[in-house]
Structure 1
């Protein structure tokens, strides 16, 4: 029986640790028949190259800083060294300085750090999608990762604003890439014990809420359900879905109390 992503060529941008959603997405995509490329940059690139060996098939690791115009311009050629195009792109990228923007520092967050968080976490979805669009044909899929930005959360502060920007960016990309047959969707995950979560002071407050309110329950150490949802959106099983945010949070988002 063919896998859900049989024959698909997928770039997962932003894989650092094997606890990341990006890593588990790459793993499940490979298990479902995809050819996967992963990316990172700077000091983290060495870690990514080591982590890549833990996937079922060691994938090519591309150097890609989504805030670097030269990297973005060179991306199509870098991808073509390994595959002749892309069917899917996963945006697993976010950053906000935890010392200045998170953990109750909303009123004091300095603009340069806020600007960096918005560029890396939101604007980069546009940058990455535009860089990859020439590699994609009708039926292509871009999937990003968010944390519900419709409300204010304890500790999340300016990252919540950046995620709100990401969510809006995905809708405008859906509008503008739709005529090319490219879908753009997000997966909104519940709190998971990832490297990004560990950087947020007070994040355990969010984790505690889920244990009480998610009707399906929530395992904050299991990235599998989120990664499976990303892979489903990368597949051909959502051909007419774009501009959507799929919640993978045990149902927490639908509960009032």
Structure 2
């Protein structure tokens, strides 16, 4: 028996097997869920290949969360494999590393900033809204953030986008609560994912965790974060919504 037995879960934004999305899909399957994953464009072929590395090869859906046509057809695509959704994982973010990250905050051009906010924050609402017809009371939406309560070295406009994501999750929790749908985020410490590699100065962020996390921090292990996501997808948090669960070795609670 797993904590997700019988659950139908969409993990949106799975690219590499080093990603949090991939780890979440794996843990969810191990806990009894039927999992679907998604990606789009050139990355879709990569996703289809790495899907074979999961315990059960899941359906791979084409989904660009900035494309209204993709969002409109999502219920139909999901319906080809399952008759509804119990959980949705938003594992999606993007900011142009050449213009928005690595000490470029003061010169961040609006077209790139708006793209980062749309992909990384607004899409939590648009993805959730697209999935609403498939979800019933008891459903759970879980997104991934990187603590946006402070300014980090190198993170710049992605930090702003994550702050928007965190606010978006609270408003979604407010509006979807009456429908019995929970919306929460998991704030992970720095992990060596494809997204992290694109951040100039990531090593500076990473180095802080080794010294200050009371539980220590393994930046190559996505499993603790994936387990937290799956716990929030389960029925073990029936009265929790609008929350940010930190999976960072305790770093966020330390003053120095």
Pairwise same-fold verdict (TM > 0.5): yes
- 1:106-126: per-residue Cα shift (whole Å, max 9, x none)? 000000000000000000000
Show the counterpart of 2:235.
Answer: 236
Show the counterpart of 2:67.
Answer: 68
Count, aligned residues: 256
Asked if 1:216 is matched to 2:202, the reply is: no
1:53 partner SS:
helix
Show the counterpart of 1:105.
Answer: 104
Show the counterpart of 2:143.
Answer: 144
Show the counterpart of 2:126.
Answer: 127
- 1:3-52: per-residue Cα shift (whole Å, max 9, x none)? 01000000000000000000000000000000000000000000000000
- 1:86-127: per-residue Cα shift (whole Å, max 9, x none)? 000000000000000000000000000000000000000000
- 1:116-146: per-residue Cα shift (whole Å, max 9, x none)? 0000000000000000011000000000000
- 1:190-217: per-residue Cα shift (whole Å, max 9, x none)? 0000000000000100110000000000
1:27 partner SS:
helix
Which runs of structure 2 are paired with 1:34-45 in the superposition (5 Å)?
A: 34-45=33-44
> Where do 4+ consecutive residues of structure 1 move more than 6 Å?
none
Displacement after TM superposition at 1:221 (Å) = 0.3
Show the counterpart of 1:24.
Answer: 23
Structure 1 distance, partners of 2:177, 2:128, is 12
Unaligned runs of 5+ in 2: none
Structure 1 distance, partners of 2:197, 2:16, is 12
1:10 partner SS:
strand
Structure 2 distance, partners of 1:179, 1:123, is 21
TM-score normalised per structure 1:
0.99
Which runs of structure 2 are paired with 1:153-164 in the superposition (5 Å)?
A: 153-164=152-163
Structure 2 distance, partners of 1:229, 1:223, is 10
Show the counterpart of 2:187.
Answer: 188
Aligned residues: CA RMSD: 0.2
1:187 partner SS:
strand
Structure 2 distance, partners of 1:130, 1:3, is 28
2:137 partner SS:
strand
Show the counterpart of 2:6.
Answer: 7
Structure 2 distance, partners of 1:72, 1:174, is 20
Displacement after TM superposition at 1:224 (Å) = 0.3
- 1:140-174: per-residue Cα shift (whole Å, max 9, x none)? 00000000000000000000000000000000000
1:177 partner SS:
helix
TM-score normalised per structure 2:
1.00
Structure 2 distance, partners of 1:63, 1:16, is 12
1:141 partner SS:
strand
